[in-house]
Amino acid sequence: MFDLLKQACESARNAGCEFADARFLAIHKQRVISRDHALAGCSDSDDRGFGVRVLYNGAWGFASSPTYTAAEVERVVGLALRIARASAMALRGGGVHWAPESAQTLEYRSSCAVDPFEVPLEDKADLLISANEVMLNNPSVVRAQGFLSFKRVQRWYANTDGAEMHSDVTSSEATIWAIAVGNDDFQQRNWRAPASSRGFEAYPKQDFLVEAERVAAEAEEKLSAKLAPEGEFDIVTDPENLSLTIHESVGHATELDRVMGYEVSLAGASFVTRDKMGEFRYGSEAVTLMADNTLEHGLATQGFDDDGVPGQRWEIVKDGIFQTYSSGREFAHYIGEERSRGACRADHWSSIPIVRIPNLFLMPGQEPLTPEELIGDVGHGLYFEGMDSFSIDQWRLNFQFGGNAVWEIRNGRKAGMLKAALYQSRTPSFWNACDATCDERFWQPHGVTNCGKGDPMQVAQMTHGAAPTRFRKIHICRGRDA
Ligand SMILES: [Zn+2]
């Protein structure tokens, strides 16, 4: 498989390119969707092709094709070169500064005990429909739905440094949800089985049946929930809820290409300017946010990135102080770093790699602390579980987040459910209000599979994580009138 990729790099080198790389991808995807007592859809796709990226006189050219032959490889290299030459004519200034990387031979395979593509469709249908039937047993539930989604990406990568790398990553995702109607209202409650780089072994049927019953009961309970109070309250977030807040307020804010203005036209910029490195108080001392593209079962763990840089682990925020960014080989020089952090990924063989959020998580507390003890120190507050609507501004500064289920906390205990609650804050104010997070026994990963970025849009996946975490005096508002 490497021969034609190496041929592409050789041709680009002979044509005078400073650097070139070539990737071949085989992508197998399957999605199974259920609604009530039946399957509502099933898709299965197998998609293969290669892309060639060349750096010529400081400018990029990229081209790709689904036809993997020697003649087509030559044509694609030629097209990438023409694009690079044309781009170089428009360059003002020095062009791309490409961080060096030693040539490596690398093989990475994710652990997958039960290949999801080998599991019969009947078993997948049975899993989803059985869960739906449990949800529909609840008389308030009018609709039960679910999906299973599987992806296997095999990737071969070569570049003019001499790197030869291969990865084989299988990932899985599942969600079930119930819609309840009553009390002049309708409410939805879901359970996301954490998406991860694992196989079908991640989804025991018994888990689905237990969670289905809880999801249905909580959808029903939401119908009679009180309207959330407004004002300043202490809040506790569960790992899934905080994963989205980490993603939006830390992950995107610390992508170096975004900081340098490369995303302004579509996704916005960032308040985390370069002068903040090593100095800015992002959060309280309880806040250490770790990037880790070596995390076991992490969705961004793929051995190496699409710049040919091996996966790494580094601190984005340490004891509350901002340390450094996620970067690729094109961007490291902007912050005086000699080496990329290995966070440049493309979502397809026809996509050019861009800086992506790594696996990124809040480190658990170092002192023993249970969720009961965490909540026990809240007089009147709110407990947020799961994800709901959110928004954040183009500087990744002002935001609001909801939860799929929210409980009132009274005198140190979870009381009844609340409707329409949102927490609203500014990124540094929020993270500085964090006063405790539970210890590692309660830490959970949560995969994100729909992170959109780039123009044209690319969709990436990565894993976040946290233990239940407490924030003091956060503004609560209502997401809707009732
Ligand atoms: Zn995102």
| pLDDT tens by residue, 422-442 | 999 999 999 999 999 999 999
**Residue 230's CB: how many other CB atoms inside 10 A?**
13
Predicted local confidence at residue 93, as pLDDT: 74
Tell me how far the alpha carbon of residue 229 lies from the centroid of ligand 1, in angstroms.
30
Tell me the CA distances in angstroms from 175 to 144, 151, 307, one per residue in order: 11, 15, 33
Distance, CA of 5 to CA of 173 (rounded, Å): 32
Predicted local confidence at residue 90, as pLDDT: 87
Mean pLDDT estimate for the chain: 97
Tell me how far the alpha carbon of residue 447 lies from the centroid of ligand 1, in angstroms.
12
Residue 278 CB contacts under 8 Å (≥ 6 apart), including other chains: 321, 322, 323
69 exposure class (CB count in 10 Å sphere: 0-12, 13-18, 19+): exposed
Predicted local confidence at residue 265, as pLDDT: 85
Beta strand 458-466 pairing with 360-362: parallel
Task: Give me Rg for the CA atoms of the chain.
Answer: 24
Predicted local confidence at residue 318, as pLDDT: 98
Tell me how far the alpha carbon of residue 199 lies from the centroid of ligand 1, in angstroms.
24
Tell me how far the alpha carbon of residue 454 lies from the centroid of ligand 1, in angstroms.
10
Condensed to tens digits (0 to 9), the pLDDT of residues 60-101 reads 999 999 999 999 999 999 999 999 999 999 887 789 999 999
Tell me how far the alpha carbon of residue 408 lies from the centroid of ligand 1, in angstroms.
29
Tell me how far the alpha carbon of residue 142 lies from the centroid of ligand 1, in angstroms.
32
Residue 394 CB contacts under 8 Å (≥ 6 apart), including other chains: 267, 268, 269
Predicted local confidence at residue 480, as pLDDT: 72
Predicted local confidence at residue 481, as pLDDT: 59
Residue 466 CB contacts under 8 Å (≥ 6 apart), including other chains: 237, 239, 242, 243, 246, 361, 362, 364, 437, 443, 444
